[in-house]
Amino acid sequence: MEMKEYYLQKIENLKRAKALQTKEKIRKEGLLDEDDYGRIAVPDKGWEIIPNHSDGSFYGIQGWTDNFCDLMDNHPTYIDGNDAFAGRWIYFMSKMRPNKWNPSYPFTHLIANQEKYDIIHGIGDDAHFAPDFELGLQLGWGGLLKKIETSAAINQGEEQEVFYQAHKRAIVSIQGWIKRHIDELALMIQKEEDPLSRENLLKMRETNRAILHHPPKTLRQACQWIIWFHLASRTYNRDGAGGQIDTLLQPYFENDIKNGIIDKEEAIYYLSCFLINDPIYWQLGGPDGNGGDVSSEISFLILEAADKINTSLNITVRVHDHMNQELFDRSLDYLIKHKNAWPRFSGDKGLISGFMKNGYSEELARKRIAVGCNWMSLPGLEYTMNDLVKVNMAKVFEVAFEEIMATSEVKSTAELWGKFTAHLAKAVTTAADGIKHHLKYQKYNEPELILNLLSYGPLEKGRDVSDGGAMYYNLSIDGAGIAIVADSFAAIEQRIEEEKRLSWEDLQSHLNSNFEDENGERIRTLLQNSERYGQGDTKGDKWASLIAEHFSALVKNESDAEQNHCFIPGLFSWANTVGLGKKVKATPNGRKGGEPINHGANPTPGFVVDGGSLALASAIAKVQPGYGNTAPMQWELDPSLAKEEHAEIIGAIIKTHFELGGTLINVNIMDKEQVLAAHENPDLYPDLVVRITGFTAYFAMLSKEFRQLVVDRILEN
Amino acid sequence: MILEKGMITNLQRLSLHDGNGIRTVIFLKGCNMRCLWCHNPETFSQKVQIERIDQKCISCGACVEVCGSGALSMYNGKVHYNAKSCTQNGDCIPVCYSGAMHQVGEMHTSESLYKAIEKDVPFFKFSDGGVTFSGGEPLLQHQFLMEVIQYFKSKDLNIAVESNFNVSWNIISKFLPYVDHWLVDLKFINAEKHKKWTFTDNQKVLSNITLLDNQKVSYELRTPLIPTANNIKEELVAINDFVNQLSNCKQFKLNPYHKLGEQKYKNLGLEYNLAHINEMSHSEFQYWSSLIKK
Ligand code: SF4
Ligand code: SF4
């Protein structure tokens, strides 16, 4: 749609401002191997935390409330006359603590096994579940305050009083922050001479005044309300979960159009401003439960807005049998046009049937949408610890291999498998015990003051969402390193057991010397050329399926209906491939000690010579964990395929992966030459965005080591 | 039923240039032309061959040690392969650490072939894709191919055949009911040139194309545009005129010459005779393409 020059110019200015902000952030805060988050740099002499513990950190509901309210009271305002909305976030409050877990609740009993199996335990980590924005849009800040009052009257008690008081203070401090923007706008309006810009500032002020207490009524107000909530929530503890953005905004948009308040161009301008504010994870489209799709005109306008800003974006299009084909086609067009890693795609079939296997209804399963990096969540209904807990299966394998070499007379892959699964069971239990420990004490460590507000239960029950306040506890444990383990089993089976080209002892000594001994490089080459996971019907594929199945069963086994604990397996490493790899010595698949482990559920790079995309899509579909969490397909799509004339083929690969049971596809389309040049000289490519895993980042913001990882992934493809 | 067996060089998944949608190409071994520009020299001979993939080699010398015929030798730290001395006994394959010593050519039945491509079948559905038989000249193994195609048809697959059409019409016509789309090479109209560059006559090719055209089946023609061979105005005009008098050709296009096959000649120990010819620029290719527009 052709837009008025006026809006296009404003969007252009916003993009420019964003580029400068990113540059400034790198200059001030250094490189960061993480999401862009839309955050701007901390000002000089910025706010500092108020510790309430001798270790310099702050803990518990009082500590968090005091800190958050103080920060809100002192938070700088942010208004850009080009923007339709006020506000940006600056402080990573939860990261500013020197220590993230309250030492009064030690988990010493778990540490030995956490270290032995290199488990990322997630104890004390920030929120990784989704709020229900609809709740907030219905109630507004005033409505939420009223809800607190009503609930407090029902749930009386000392602890409850503190709980409700804290939430009330949090809301009032957020309102204070908004109010300061309203005041600031008044000054800006006075000074502004350009009538159009003045008009925009007036509207901005009117919007903010309208939603200071009351629920939003227009599209602009709804977007601004969501922005305030997520800016507060981001500041509080990094939460970046989104929701079903098209259905959330649809009524406001349709109403505005009907009442002649806005036209479509204005809507796209608002949506552009909304998206550039923060790369939140939003889902577009999805089944409506009546054989159709929830998408509507605004779904397309959101894509158009994304097209206009084309920065770091985390929009996921839900693919299902009755999806809106036009929306899918349009999303492919943009993927190919911009080659900027958006959108990504989630697979309804595997997600819904998998989640239902936990005993949930189809109706509930449909509500579990793509709102996080690798993860799905039921907005407002569950507490999950998504993407926080990882078991390094490559490390578990190392423990099993060392044990078989030290203790077993007869060595075989069967024997090794027995040891591996026994250790994996211990590792999974350790991870689950860590989660249970977290659930027990997190409220004394880091209560979810902000997300409690948009969850069903915490306010009603007077209990933190981590502490029984939520309706469901769908607790995630991810396995990492599946390809390393599968390929290691396959190499041993093929080269030692079948071909007898080396002995177990030979292998051990090569591993111990990191393949730097005599013949080491030859053997490494031989092992690397064994039948690998991802090639299709190979030994590696067989082992990968076995590992995935077994891991899932072990995680599921930790569930406890009485405690309302439903554990859900996933295969994902997030950006930890480097860190997890550093802990693992040389492995029998020919990987050298300390090298990164494989990415998520992806095979190791270079696993197949041609038709890589099909091989990848089939392989990852086969190792799906199967209970509604993901094993994402990280797809480095070759630029020669990423052309307009091949859009149908790309679409067919996406659809087939989901038809086969796949759950999530993250796509990168990167030109080799460009990536290499950007690696050399990141400053020259400030706009280059890569999808690292589930999240996207500016390439220039990544550390050298991390950039190297991205480069390797693309070159080896 | 007697199970026919056929010789395959390899399978290519997700081929973008051999028919509609997502396609898996099955290359049959053996060819009755010897086009000098051919980028699939491994399909010339119908027999199993030893191939040495130089890029994979780690120069460990293990193959040289077992080779009794002197076909492999090591100098300056690099392995050299002399196909003329090779007895093709394959002794070097199992000792190689990197998979660089490799056998090209594998016998298949229709069932084993289906098994090999089965994992691609789900991908065909959403893109109207399917299987393309290529070569070499796939129709040289027509009995085997017929059995495979009938078997694949029973699995509801879309079938395309890529042929040089230098085979008898009798054979081609038997395939007409089973093939959904034909891809035929039209290399030269000039008989002499055809002979010079492919070592075969083109009369049969041209008459088969005309006969195919009369059948009203789905087909397309492609001309490999080879510098110094057929990138000559009068030749292209002749080709274009020939195509224009056909009634049912769905598509006609030029394919630019590329040298991607050169390394394969080395790997097989064969000589590549077009080493001196350069690939043409995009703009030059555009120019020639503009000549064939109707
Ligand atoms: S196949 Fe050829 S190169 Fe290999 S060992 Fe036998 S004679 Fe030597
Ligand atoms: S055995 Fe293989 S890797 Fe070693 S020199 Fe021969 S071809 Fe190269």
Q: In this structure, are residues B63 and B92 in contact, taking their beta carbons and an 8 Å threshold?
A: yes
Indicate if the pLDDT at residue B223 is higher than 70. yes
Q: In this structure, are residues A34 and A695 in contact, taking their beta carbons and an 8 Å threshold?
A: yes
Of B62, B99, B126, the CB nearest to A655: B126
Q: Which helix (DSSP H) or strand (DSSP E) does residue A344 occupy?
A: strand A344-347
Rounded to a whole number of angstroms, the distance from the CA of B73 to the nearest CA of chain A is: 18
Place of tokens 């392995």: B79
Alpha-carbon distance of A325 to A321, in angstroms, equals 10
Q: Find, in chain A, the residue whose alpha carbon is nearest to that of B122.
A: A656
pLDDT at A672: 84
Lowest mean pLDDT among A369-383, A461-475, B221-235: B221-235
CB contact under 8 A, B97 and A613: no
Indicate if the pLDDT at residue B68 is higher than 80. yes
- Those residues with Cβ within 8 angstroms of residue A239's Cβ, 6 or more apart along the chain or in another chain: A126, A127, A131, A230, A233, A450, A451
Task: Tell me the mean pLDDT in the region A483-503.
Answer: 97
Alpha-carbon distance of B61 to B66, in angstroms, equals 9
Residue A24: closest CA among A35, A14, A9, A39: A39
Task: Tell me the mean pLDDT in the region B209-229.
Answer: 92
Query: How far from A235 is each of A65, A72, A96, A222, A232, CA to CA, in Å?
Result: 12, 9, 11, 20, 5
CB contact under 8 A, A660 and B99: no
Task: Tell me the mean pLDDT in the region A409-413.
Answer: 95
What residue type is A146 in one-letter code?
K
pTM over 0.90: yes
Alpha-carbon distance of A665 to A636, in angstroms, equals 10
Average pLDDT taken over every residue of chain A: 95
Between strands A633-637 and A664-669, the pairing is parallel
The per-residue pLDDT for range A549-591, each reduced to its tens digit, is 999 999 999 999 999 999 999 999 988 999 999 999 999 999 9
pLDDT at A32: 74
Between strands A281-284 and A314-319, the pairing is parallel
Task: Tell me the mean pLDDT in the region A486-506.
Answer: 97
HSE toward the beta carbon, residue A116, CA cutoff 13 A: 16
Between strands A696-698 and A689-691, the pairing is antiparallel
Among A452-461, A673-682, A701-710, B264-273, name the most confident range: A452-461
CA of A322 to the centre of ligand 1 (A): 57
Q: Which ranges of A131-214 does DSSP label H, i.e. alpha helix?
A: 133-154, 158-191, 195-211
* Ligand 1 atom index nearest CA of B81: 3
Give B129's contacts in chain A (Cβ within 8 Å). Answer: 649, 652
Task: Tell me the mean pLDDT in the region A346-360.
Answer: 98
pLDDT at A717: 57
Task: Tell me the mean pLDDT in the region A421-444.
Answer: 98
A329: number of Cβ within 10 Å: 12
Q: In this structure, are residues B244 and B266 in contact, taking their beta carbons and an 8 Å threshold?
A: no
Rounded to a whole number of angstroms, the distance from the CA of B124 to the nearest CA of chain A is: 8
Residues of A with CB under 8 A from a CB of B: 499, 521-523, 525-526, 529, 536-537, 610-611, 613-615, 617-618, 641, 646, 648-649, 651-653, 655-656, 659-660
Alpha-carbon distance of B79 to A413, in angstroms, equals 35
- Those residues with Cβ within 8 angstroms of residue A347's Cβ, 6 or more apart along the chain or in another chain: A319, A320, A657, A658, A661, A662, A663, A664, A665
- A562 three-state secondary structure: coil
pLDDT at A2: 60
Alpha-carbon distance of A440 to A684, in angstroms, equals 49
C-alpha triplet A343, A345, A349: angle, nearest 5°? 165
HSE toward the beta carbon, residue A539, CA cutoff 13 A: 19
Indicate if the pLDDT at residue A95 is higher than 90. yes
Q: Which helix (DSSP H) or strand (DSSP E) does residue A352 occupy?
A: helix A348-356
| Residue ranges lining ligand 2, Cβ < 6 Å | B 57-63, 79, 95-98, 100-101
Residue A223: closest CA among A337, A129, A85: A85
pLDDT at A715: 75
Instruction: Tell me chain A's radius of gyration from C-alpha atoms.
Output: 26
Indicate if the pLDDT at residue A710 is higher than 90. no
Q: Which helix (DSSP H) or strand (DSSP E) does residue A665 occupy?
A: strand A664-669
**Where are chain B's structural domains?**
6-46+105-289, 49-104
Best probe of the B interface among A610, A644, A650, by most B CBs < 10 A, is: A610
CA of B62 to the centre of ligand 2 (A): 6
CB contact under 8 A, B126 and A617: no
Instruction: Tell me chain B's radius of gyration from C-alpha atoms.
Output: 20
* Terminal C-alpha separation, chain A: 36
Indicate if the pLDDT at residue B135 is higher than 60. yes
> B67 CB under 6 A from ligand 1?
yes
| B67-75 contact pairs (CB < 8 A, 24+) | B67/B91, B67/B92
Ligand 2, atom 6, lies closest to the CA of B63
CB contact under 8 A, A652 and B22: yes
Of A521, A536, A611, the CB nearest to B58: A521
Token digits of residue A440: 């027990």
> B273 CB under 6 A from ligand 1?
no
Identify which has the larger pLDDT, A125 or A696: A125
pLDDT at B1: 54
CA of B83 to the centre of ligand 1 (A): 9
Indicate if the pLDDT at residue A611 is higher than 70. no
Task: Tell me the mean pLDDT in the region A225-230.
Answer: 98
CATH number of B6-46+105-289: 3.20.20.70
Which-ligand-closest: CA of B95? 2
Token digits of residue A434: 């860590």
Q: Which ranges of A379-412 does DSSP label H, i.e. alpha helix?
A: 393-407
Per DSSP, A168 falls in state H
Lowest mean pLDDT among A186-190, A637-641, B20-24, B152-156: A637-641
Lowest mean pLDDT among A193-207, A599-613, A618-632, B47-61: A599-613
Say if residue A62 is exposed, middle or buried (CB neighbours under 10 Å; 0-12, 13-18, 19+). Answer: middle
Provide the angle, in degrees to the nearest 10, between the axes of the packed helices B233-244 and B282-291. 50
Task: Tell me the mean pLDDT in the region B267-292.
Answer: 87
Give one DSSP letter per residue of chain B, joined into a string.
-----EEEEEEEEEESSSSSSSEEEEEES--S---TT-S-GGGSSSS-EEEE-GGG-----HHHHH-SSS-EEEETTEEEE-GGG-----THHHH-SSS-EEEE-EEE-HHHHHHHHGGGHHHHHTTT-EEEEESS-GGGGHHHHHHHHHHHHHTT--EEEEE---S-HHHHHHHTTT-SEEEEE---SSHHHHHHHHSS-SHHHHHHHHHHHHTT--EEEEEEE-TTTT-SHHHHHHHHHHHHT-S-EEEEEEEE---TTHHHHHHHT---TTTTPPPPPHHHHHHHHHHT--
Q: In this structure, are residues A292 and A325 in contact, taking their beta carbons and an 8 Å threshold?
A: no
Alpha-carbon distance of A131 to A376, in angstroms, equals 12
Indicate if the pLDDT at residue A150 is higher than 70. yes
Indicate if the pLDDT at residue B294 is higher than 60. no
pLDDT at A609: 62
- Those residues with Cβ within 8 angstroms of residue A438's Cβ, 6 or more apart along the chain or in another chain: A121, A122, A123, A124, A125, A385, A466
Token digits of residue B144: 């085997």
CB contact under 8 A, B99 and A499: no
Indicate if the pLDDT at residue A419 is higher than 70. yes
Q: In this structure, are residues A383 and A438 in contact, taking their beta carbons and an 8 Å threshold?
A: no
Identify which has the larger pLDDT, B114 or A690: B114
Alpha-carbon distance of B294 to B291, in angstroms, equals 8
CATH number of B49-104: 3.30.70.20
Q: Percent of chain B at pLDDT above 90? A: 75
Q: Which helix (DSSP H) or strand (DSSP E) does residue A64 occupy?
A: helix A60-74
The alpha carbon dihedral of B193, B134, B125, A329 has a sign of: negative
Q: Which helix (DSSP H) or strand (DSSP E) does residue A571 occupy?
A: strand A566-571
Indicate if the pLDDT at residue A3 is higher than 80. no
- Those residues with Cβ within 8 angstroms of residue A259's Cβ, 6 or more apart along the chain or in another chain: none
* Ligand 1 atom index nearest CA of B69: 7
Ligand 2, atom 4, lies closest to the CA of B60
Average pLDDT taken over every residue of chain B: 92
Task: Tell me the mean pLDDT in the region A601-610.
Answer: 82
Q: What is the ipTM of this complex?
A: 0.93
> B96 CB under 6 A from ligand 1?
no
Alpha-carbon distance of B228 to B257, in angstroms, equals 11
DSSP bridge partners of A666: A634
Give one DSSP letter per residue of A217-253, joined into a string.
-SHHHHHHHHHHHHHHHHHHH---EEEEHHHHHHHHH
Lowest mean pLDDT among A26-40, A235-249, A544-558, A651-665: A26-40
Q: In this structure, are residues A615 and A532 in contact, taking their beta carbons and an 8 Å threshold?
A: no
pLDDT at A382: 97
Between strands A344-347 and A314-319, the pairing is parallel
HSE toward the beta carbon, residue B15, CA cutoff 13 A: 19
Confidence bin at A306 (pLDDT 50/70/90): very high
pLDDT at A707: 87
CA of A716 to the centre of ligand 2 (A): 22
The per-residue pLDDT for range A675-702, each reduced to its tens digit, is 899 999 988 888 888 888 778 888 888 8
Residue B256: closest CA among B220, B226, B222, B293: B226
The alpha carbon dihedral of A108, A109, A114, A120 has a sign of: negative
Query: How far from A41 is each of A18, A236, A533, CA to CA, in Å?
Result: 11, 16, 43
Confidence bin at A1 (pLDDT 50/70/90): low
The alpha carbon dihedral of B172, B175, B177, B183 has a sign of: negative
